[in-house]
Amino acid sequence: MLAPQMSPTNQLIRQRDGAGFEIPEHSEFLGTLIPRITCGPVFCSVLLLLVFTCIFILPSSAPFASVYSSLNHSPKAHETDIDDRYGDLDSRTDSDIPEIPLSSDRTPEILKKALSGLSSRWKNWWIRGILTLTMISLFFLIIYMGSFMLMLLVLGIQVKCFHEIITIGYRVYRSYDLPWFRTLSWYFLLCVNYFFYGETVADYFATFVQREEQLQFLIRYHRFISFALYLAGFCMFVLSLVKKHYRLQFYMFAWTHVTLLITVTQSHLVIQNLFEGMIWFLVPISSVICNDITAYLFGFFFGRTPLIKLSPKKTWEGFIGGFFSTVVFGFIAAYMLSKYQYFVCPVEYRSDVNSFVTECEPSELFQLQSYSLPPFLKAVLRRETVSLYPFQIHSIALSTFASLIGPFGGFFASGFKRAFKIKDFANTIPGHGGIMDRFDCQYLMATFVHVYITSFIRGPNPSKVLQQLLVLQPEQQLNIYKTLKTHLIEKGILQPTLKV
Amino acid sequence: MTELRQRAAREPDAASEDKELESEVKIDGETASDSESRAETAPLSTSVDDTPEVLNRALSNLSSRWKNWWVRGILTLAMIAFFFIIIYLGPMVLMIIVMCVQIKCFHEIITIGYNVYHSYDLPWFRTLSWYFLLCVNYFFYGETVTDYFFTLVQREEPLRILSKYHRFISFTLYLIGFCMFVLSLVKKHYRLQFYMFGWTHVTLLIVVTQSHLVIHNLFEGMIWFIVPISCVICNDIMAYMFGFFFGRTPLIKLSPKKTWEGFIGGFFATVVFGLLLSYVMSGYRCFVCPVEYNNDTNSFTVDCEPSDLFRLQEYSIPEVIQSVIGLTTVWMYPFQIHSIALSTFASLIGPFGGFFASGFKRAFKIKDFANTIPGHGGIMDRFDCQYLMATFVNVYIASFIRGPNPSKLIQQFLTLRPDQQLHIFNTLRSHLADKGVLTAAVEDE
């Protein structure tokens, strides 16, 4: 248990290193990797399976079990109706349920030896610091690897978050013994992921999908297949209802669905933002992380007035200081990232190269423009105009959301932990807690960025329009083709002399 | 549980009808321990008799078992008549009725949640739950209205702005509710508040999405609304009849009154009913045409050229049935074939929605969802089998009947950037050329 815990992504990287792959330029790397395996989807599924099994192998939150046995009644007392016990649990206030400390320390042995000389408070600070730097460098490494790896990372995180929340549900309701629940929860996760991935994959891989016949069938009837899969799970749930455990089973069913709603939809919105351009993925996430860190630092040095009863360690000074520093950070990060095509261009799948490419003509959002400064800034900076990327203006909106509303996600998670008397979601990251603890402030950010993009930046998704066009009847397609052609010629986009 | 016992003691004596129903329930094969715990914890729902005074007097001389049967029968006929009247009144009224049913269902389920968690005293929850209902409804209605009322929306300036930034506005409204929830967390009641939050969201997921899919189906053509719902109702009634007369082998432990005979008999009866009903309805334009909003007359119209689905076609009967019926071909609407699929779903999978609701009621020890309809229970009790039907019909239509809407696609295309438009145009051209649809002659037109 005290051996160094490798996250699934680390293991993947080590595997690739072991197989003798070098790590060249990002897009070239992917170009060599994918055709080397027979087919992209096969590769994906193998990878996903690997991630999946890794999550099962990683130790789950075993420390909770012993403490929950001291809750309420002993197991023998009320065997007749387990639901009654939970009735008590439901209506009672929180005060008489004991707190659950995390009793296993997952800090790697090396760190422990290195820091054995320090006092325990500094040791804790050092562990947190080292792990923070490790996570940040891992983040940079994954960015370097490219959008595909990022997608896999997002998927891996989503599965782990789901696993953590579901495990908490099992602990709360002590339903770990009923094996159907675990199967059903994972099955529902699979169904919903299949549905969402089918919707996204179909959009972005339109050309790739057109070639394969079986994929065509799957895409065309995608909704029907997803619904049938979900129905099968629903019917299995109904058939699995056991006489004395109805309430428990319904609770787990609802718990699974709310968890799916929170984790899976958010992660798919993240991936859609990613496809819009990696900058739409990086800037929001780093703004949230920056807000976390700077609010903590401001609170550490200047903190005096508490912010909210839920999280006693948060202060108003930290909140406001974090807000300003995040806006500045977002501004600067947006400026630095907007220069590179790699971050700015929408991710596309090119069928000829059989890989993801991020090459394009940057849109106006990412071209330097001159803005005239308002008079009071003119006097301060002694300049008339300033060259900015328009995206930086948007980044102010994103950073503002990250600093003002993002913390509510954190408060939500704190309230959740207090409600169920847990210290951390899990024990995955030493010093920090579970994956959910790191991502709780990101809850709403992904949705906000997605809504922001669809409302203010771009119109409908072009790949989706194309996909729908290709599904129509040939006569309808021909009609549309003629309409489009006249429209484009009118607009001067298309030259009339162009031949087939 | 002590609170529940006190509550049971406080309530007035149940009417004779409810005692009758309780004893019926007790007979249904419960073990000794179950009935003991049931006696300890009385059912949560109300025990007031809602039967109108007039019915009570009319049926006062019958025995209480027959009285129950008559009350149920009369109310069933009343509901069916009401359904026909609403259909006659048109799609707008149907939409409003669906909306009301949705709100009532939401109210019933949330009330059960309050009773389970004894959280009725914390007034914020009620406000927040209704606020979330409003937000989600606003979001869904905005999406539907924008699609179907496109021209109307474009004309009015405030509507245009609302529809352009619709998602953003809905998200902001939802966020406000979320932040209010976080700010309303009270120290000793965290778990309760999280439970109610989860309860509200699951209820919204079940109730609101289903009702909006129903409205989508309705806009496709009233027949897509009427046939599925009638199939489910018919299955309910037929399964009950078959079970009543022939019922012997129990179907599932969850609902002891259901039998295999009822299930299978209901299946066949529903398929036949679906065939007949769709034959009758496919003849009328008002049922078959998509509902459209006419800008000139500023109202809903159902007038169109019926699609191939609703035109009589000749089908040759397989030999095995030819000898039985004595006809070589038969004239049918293609829609009737689809109706077989719909009826099959209604009879085979629909009951799972009913079992789900039964399990839910047993889990929370309630007899009925509410007491709105005398003899039947709440609105949810009537609509529990419809849970999955609306989603199925919507998915069925989207997958097998119609593709995407061409005019809508053109509208979306026109909002794209020029380089995107060019890219799509070129892809479409190469696709059409591959298919052989686009020849040089066509190109030069």
The pLDDT averaged over each successive group of 10 residues in chain B (445 residues) is 36 35 34 35 42 64 72 82 83 85 88 75 78 92 74 72 84 91 83 86 88 86 88 89 86 82 91 92 82 70 75 78 75 87 90 86 80 71 79 86 66 70 80 73 58
Torsions phi, psi for B49 (to 5 deg): -90, 120
- For residue A188 the two structure tokens come to 């529902």
Residue A271: per-residue pLDDT: 86
Return the percent helix, strand and coil in chain B, to nearest 5. Answer: 75, 5, 25
At residue A80, does pLDDT exceed 80? Answer: no
Sort out which chain A residues have CB atoms less than 8 A from B192's CB and list them: 90, 93
Sort out which chain B residues have CB atoms less than 8 A from A462's CB and list them: 416, 420, 423-424
Residue B84: per-residue pLDDT: 83
Q: Which amino acid is at B46?
A: T
Residue A58: per-residue pLDDT: 38
First to last CA, chain B: 80
Cα–Cα distances in angstroms (integers) from residue A461 to residues A454, B261, B357, B428, in the given order: 9, 51, 39, 16
Residue A17: per-residue pLDDT: 36
**Bigger pLDDT: A418 vs A219:** A418
The residues in B 368-427 lying below 8 A from A, measured between CB atoms, are 388, 391-392, 395-396, 398-400, 403-404, 406, 409-410, 412-425, 427
B180 part of a folded domain:
no
Select from A325, A270, A276, A277 the least CA-distant residue to A301: A325
Helix and strand element counts for chain B (H, E): 22, 4
Highest mean pLDDT among A228-237, A464-473, A489-498, B294-303: A228-237
B313 close to B303: Cβ distance less than 8 angstroms: no
B435 part of a folded domain:
no
For residue B51, the distance in angstroms to the closest alpha carbon of chain A comes to 31
CA distance B419 to A58: 48
DSSP assignment, residue B289? S
For residue A216, the distance in angstroms to the closest alpha carbon of chain B comes to 13
At residue A38, does pLDDT exceed 50? Answer: no
pLDDT band with cut points at 50, 70 and 90 for residue A293: confident
The residues in A 413-432 lying below 8 A from B, measured between CB atoms, are 415-416, 418-420
Model ipTM value: 0.77
- Report the mean per-residue pLDDT for chain A: 72
The residues in A 429-488 lying below 8 A from B, measured between CB atoms, are 444, 447-448, 451-452, 454-456, 458-460, 462, 465-466, 468-474, 476-485, 487-488
Residue B255: per-residue pLDDT: 80
**Bigger pLDDT: B107 vs A383:** B107
Counted domains in chain B: 1
Q: Is there a contact between B36 and A483 if contact means CB atoms under 8 Å apart?
A: no
Select from A90, A83, A86 the least CA-distant residue to A241: A83
B129 part of a folded domain:
no
Torsions phi, psi for B255 (to 5 deg): -120, 95
pTM of the model: 0.74
B251 part of a folded domain:
yes
**Cα nearest neighbour of B415 on chain A:** A459
- Nearest CB to A500 within list B185, B188, B440: B440
The residues in A 181-220 lying below 8 A from B, measured between CB atoms, are 206-207, 210, 220
Sort out which chain B residues have CB atoms less than 8 A from A88's CB and list them: 1
**Cα nearest neighbour of A224 on chain B:** B395
Torsions phi, psi for A313 (to 5 deg): -85, -10
Question: Exposure pattern of B230-251 as b/e (b: 16+ CB <10 Å)?
Answer: bbbbbbbbbbbebbeeebeeeb
Does B364 contact chain A (CB < 8 Å)?
yes
Q: Is there a contact between B182 and A415 if contact means CB atoms under 8 Å apart?
A: yes
Q: Who contacts B21 (Cβ-Cβ below 8 Å, separation ≥6)?
A: B68, B367
pLDDT band with cut points at 50, 70 and 90 for residue A364: confident
- Best mutation target among B425, B435, B438, B443 (most A Cβ atoms within 10 Å) is B425
B58 part of a folded domain:
no
Three-state secondary-structure class, residue B326: coil
- For residue A169 the two structure tokens come to 């549900």
Pairing of strands A348-350, A355-357: antiparallel
CA distance A416 to A410: 10
CA distance A73 to A90: 14
Instruction: Give the percent of chain A with pLDDT over 70.
Output: 66
Does B160 contact chain A (CB < 8 Å)?
no
Q: Which domain holds residue B114?
A: 63-122+186-403
The residues in A 315-374 lying below 8 A from B, measured between CB atoms, are 361, 363
- Going A441 to A443 to A444 to A449, the CA torsion angle's sign is positive
Cα–Cα distances in angstroms (integers) from residue A87 to residues A82, A241, A334, B309, B367, in the given order: 9, 18, 52, 53, 17
The residues in B 255-314 lying below 8 A from A, measured between CB atoms, are none
Sort out which chain A residues have CB atoms less than 8 A from B429's CB and list them: 481, 500
Does B118 contact chain A (CB < 8 Å)?
yes
Does A227 contact chain B (CB < 8 Å)?
yes
Q: Which amino acid is at A365?
A: L
- Work out how many CB contacts closer than 8 A connect A with B: 217
Q: Is there a contact between B165 and A493 if contact means CB atoms under 8 Å apart?
A: no
Any bridge partners for residue B377, and if so which? B373
Instruction: Find the range with the poorest average confidence among A151-165, A476-490, B129-143, B296-310.
Output: B296-310
CA distance B98 to B395: 19
Three-state secondary-structure class, residue B349: coil
Select from B265, B269, B266, B249 the least CA-distant residue to B257: B249
Q: Vertex B132, ends B131 and B133: CA angle to 5°?
A: 90
DSSP assignment, residue B328? S
Residue B231: per-residue pLDDT: 92
CA distance A81 to A246: 10
- For residue B370 the two structure tokens come to 């509410």
CA distance A192 to A261: 9
Sort out which chain B residues have CB atoms less than 8 A from A479's CB and list them: 406
B377 close to B220: Cβ distance less than 8 angstroms: no
Residue B295: per-residue pLDDT: 64
- Nearest CB to A493 within list B187, B363, B422: B422
**Cα nearest neighbour of A246 on chain B:** B363
Three-state SS for chain A is: CCCCCCCHHHHHHHHHHHCCCCCCCHHHHHHHHHHHCCCHHHHHHHHHHHHHHHHHHCCCCCHHHHHHCCCCCCCCCCCCCHHHHHHHHHHCCHHHCCCECCCCCCCCHHHHHHCCCCCHHHHHHHHHHHHHHHHHHHHHHHHHHCHHHHHHHHHHHHHHHHHHHHHHHHHHHCCCCCHHHHHHHHHHHHHHHHHHHHHHHHHHCHHHHHHCHHHHHHHHCHHHHHHHHHHHHHHHHHHCCCHHHHHHHHHHHHHHHHHHHHHHHHHHHHHHHHHHCHHHHHHHHHHHHHHHHHHHHHHHHHCCCEEECCEEEEEHHHHHHHHHHHHHHHHHHHHHHCCCHHHHCCCEEECCCCEEECCCCCCHHHCCEEEECCHHHHHHHCCCEEEECHHHHHHHHHHHHHHHCHHHHHHHHHHHHHHCCECCCCCCECCCECHHHHHHHHHHHHHHHHHHHHHHHCCCCHHHHHHHHHHCCHHHHHHHHHHHHHHHHHHCCCCCCCCC
Report which secondary-structure segment, H or E, holds B173.
helix B166-183
Question: What residue spans of B289-349 are helical by DSSP H?
Answer: 319-325, 334-348
Does B192 contact chain A (CB < 8 Å)?
yes
For residue B41, the distance in angstroms to the closest alpha carbon of chain A comes to 9
Sort out which chain B residues have CB atoms less than 8 A from A476's CB and list them: 406
A155 close to A407: Cβ distance less than 8 angstroms: no
- Nearest CB to B432 within list A249, A254, A478: A478
Report which secondary-structure segment, H or E, holds B97.
helix B91-117
A371 close to A385: Cβ distance less than 8 angstroms: yes
Residue A63: per-residue pLDDT: 32
B323 part of a folded domain:
yes
A480 close to A469: Cβ distance less than 8 angstroms: yes
CA distance B52 to B374: 8
**Cα nearest neighbour of B204 on chain A:** A258
- Going B141 to A451 to B399 to B311, the CA torsion angle's sign is positive
B31 part of a folded domain:
no
CA distance B124 to B107: 15
**Cα nearest neighbour of B118 on chain A:** A91
- For residue B273 the two structure tokens come to 């009913």
Sort out which chain A residues have CB atoms less than 8 A from B417's CB and list them: 363, 458-459
Three-state secondary-structure class, residue B377: strand
